[in-house]
A and B are shown apart, each in its own frame.
Chain A
Amino acid sequence: MSAWSITEPSNRTKWVAGTLVILYALITLIPLVWIFLTGFKTPPDSISYPPKVLFEPSLEGYVNLFTTRTRVTPDQLAALPPPANFAEEIVRNRDMVIAGPSKFGERFMNSVIIGFGSTFLSIFLGTLAAYAFSRFKIPLKDDLLFFILSTRMMPPIAVAIPIFLMYRALGLSDTHLGMILLYTAVNISLAVWLLKGFIDEIPREYEEAALIDGYTRFQAFYKVVLPQAATGIASTAIFCLIFAWNEYAFAVLLTSGTAQTAPPFIPTIIGVGGLDWPAVAAGATIFLLPVMIFTILLRKHLLRGITFGAVRK
């Protein structure tokens, strides 16, 4: 409506509303900012009271995140050749030497492999199913769609019991494949529902025209429908990725050393002999940052994603 509409809020109202919302947004950001800042503190700075807002930044948290270290005596330390890089220098200031890489890199890569693997599979299967549900007459369609959705209602821990037994029998425990299949099964309900909504919005006439032009159904699907649905597919993919990325309950129960993802791992960084919050914060920062970026990219489709397409706006 135009600026002089009687329903347009007054400038004073806008100003008050804006201030309150911004205030809330700033408060809500504090924990996230604190994670970011703590990552650049030294361990003593991180636990000082009152909490330090201004401090000398240090990469110690990041070095601790990526390495394991052993304590050495001052004599041994003195006998060592000069530090080869900044990481070694930071560690030696604490009377320690770097013993090797930590598991963080591995766990992070597991998150990437399982996240992208399951996303690809969910989107692949989901697009096919969504197209079929959108375009064809399928007996008991509504029941099938509801069945697909209802699989989301089970508490993960409850499903995990038989999956644990099944995976143990099949040798899928603690494997990338097992986790990819599992996350795909969880994500597929979201993928089908969202993608069906996106495909429903593509006018049927395009395909019909293509079919008249002699395209087969398959050709019409991938030459006409898929390009039209590209944005929808992309945002659905990001939702699936974020879910797989954040998932904790299955990961903690079904993975151990080989396929463990970052969420169960990050809380255990806490350290041996002294709580190493900067390393935890560094791990959290690296892990959370991609999701924040995706969220900003996704903002137009956010509502649709979180409500399974029920609210489209």
Chain B
Amino acid sequence: MTDSPLTRAAEATPPHLARRIKGLSDRAIAWIFVAPTIFLLLAINIFPLIWTIRLSFTNFRANRPNREVEWVGLRNYERILTDSDIWLNMQATAHFLFWTLFFQVLIGFTLAWLINKKFRGNDLWTTIIVLPMMLSPAVVGNFWTFLYQPQIGLFNYAIEFLTGTPASSFEMLGSVTLAPWAIVIVDTWMWTPFVMLICLAGLRSIPDYIYEAAEIDRASKWRQFWTITVPMVLPFLMLAVLFRGIENFKMFDLVVQLTGGGPGSITELASINLKREAFEKWRTGYSSAYAIILFVTVFGLASIYVKALNKVKER
């Protein structure tokens, strides 16, 4: 993980300036400058994380201050990992993760490829396309519930207009079959631009002379696309997938506003379920264990992924 492209980007090691003129030593300044940040992160990130680990072995409940706290060992973990309802939440999360990444990569890459044809005004349109991703997911997600209303919503109207299916005959957020797709659609709408921007950077990093050489070799456009464009953009694309993957694994705000996890528990992603356990049922110890499991999962998956990413980059 220390070998990620992110850390690499930071590796422009500055040469040490031995010069010490009046005032504090460089070493002292360095620590004075870095210390507050580290301290803040220790206080608001690391200390809480350690506390969470500790709580995860207890039956503590934050809403029952007067109750005795007992050590329960690994029982919380055991309960979570053997709970079939939680596995359903995990499946919902996996479905969401897979399909949002699939569509965002597909559409994002296509858009970037089209924009890279450098038509007139492509900068302006790129900026317009980017807008949704910068907006508050909670506020926008809330408004999408209005667009998805069967009887009055614009989305259902558009479907009726395009396909002739009556607008009030299907419920994007209320139906068991459609709701998982409804959240994929909104997330794709919001975050495709993210993948697009990164792909665009990848496409623009390919020097023209490579294509010129290919032209001279009379390689077909199709062949150029698969042998030059795709491999050169792949590391960028994989980086985009990493970012989106981590974000969507943690997904909370957008989906909570859209479906609240419903109907039933069909779209109850891991974070939504965790929020219910931690802040509505107040099973603090249990949900701490849940949080640790989620964190380890993200971290583990991301580490494996980064290894793969680095292999691709080395090729």
Task: Check if A and B associate.
Answer: yes
State the Cβ distance, B68 to closest chain A Cβ, in Å.
17
A214 to B23, CA, bound (A): 11
B34 within 8 A of A: yes
B304 within 8 A of A: no
Tell me whether A291 and B134 are in contact in the complex, defined as CB-CB below 8 angstroms, given that A18-B122, A31-B189 are known contacts: yes
A248 to B127, CA, bound (A): 25
A38: chain B residues within 8 A (beta carbon): 146
A165 within 8 A of B: yes
Interface string of B237-255 (1 = CB under 8 A from A): 0010001001001101100
A230 to B153, CA, bound (A): 46
B67 within 8 A of A: no
Interface residues of A in 191-236 (CB under 8 A from B): 192-193, 196-197, 200, 204, 208, 211-212, 214-218
B86 within 8 A of A: no
Interface string of B134-152 (1 = CB under 8 A from A): 1111111011101100011
A4 within 8 A of B: no
Tell me whether B154 and A153 are in contact (CB under 8 A). Answer: no
Interface residues of B in 1-28 (CB under 8 A from A): 1-2, 4-7, 9-12, 14-17, 19, 21-24, 26-27
Interface residues of A in 107-147 (CB under 8 A from B): 125-126, 128-129, 131-138, 142-147
| B interface SS class | helix
Tell me whether A287 and B139 are in contact (CB under 8 A). Answer: yes
B29 within 8 A of A: yes
Chain B interface size, as a band, is: 35 or more
Tell me whether A218 and B29 are in contact (CB under 8 A). Answer: yes
A15: chain B residues within 8 A (beta carbon): 119
Interface string of B266-281 (1 = CB under 8 A from A): 0000110011001100
Tell me whether B125 and A22 are in contact (CB under 8 A). Answer: yes
A151: chain B residues within 8 A (beta carbon): 41, 45-46
B179 within 8 A of A: no
A165 to B44, CA, bound (A): 12
Tell me whether B143 and A280 are in contact (CB under 8 A). Answer: yes
A273 within 8 A of B: no
Tell me whether A21 and B122 are in contact in the complex, defined as CB-CB below 8 angstroms, given that A125-B36, A155-B250, A192-B37 are known contacts: yes
Counting chain A CB atoms within 10 Å of each CB, which of B134, B152, B198 scores highest? B134
A313 within 8 A of B: yes
A24 to B142, CA, bound (A): 23
Tell me whether B12 and A132 are in contact (CB under 8 A). Answer: no
A169 to B96, CA, bound (A): 37
A212 to B134, CA, bound (A): 44
A299 within 8 A of B: yes
A51 to B158, CA, bound (A): 10
Interface residues of A in 1-58 (CB under 8 A from B): 1, 5-9, 13-15, 17-18, 20-22, 24-25, 28-32, 34-35, 38, 47-51
Return the contact of A20 from the options B22, B114, B294 (Cβ within 8 A).
B114
Interface residues of A in 242-285 (CB under 8 A from B): 242, 245-246, 248-249, 253, 262-264, 266-267, 277, 280-281, 283-284
State the Cβ distance, A24 to closest chain B Cβ, in Å.
6
In the complex, 17 of the A-B residue pairs with CB atoms within 8 angstroms, ordered by the A residue number, are A7-B211, A21-B129, A25-B128, A129-B34, A136-B29, A151-B46, A155-B250, A155-B274, A155-B294, A157-B274, A157-B279, A161-B55, A164-B62, A188-B37, A214-B21, A248-B136, A263-B253
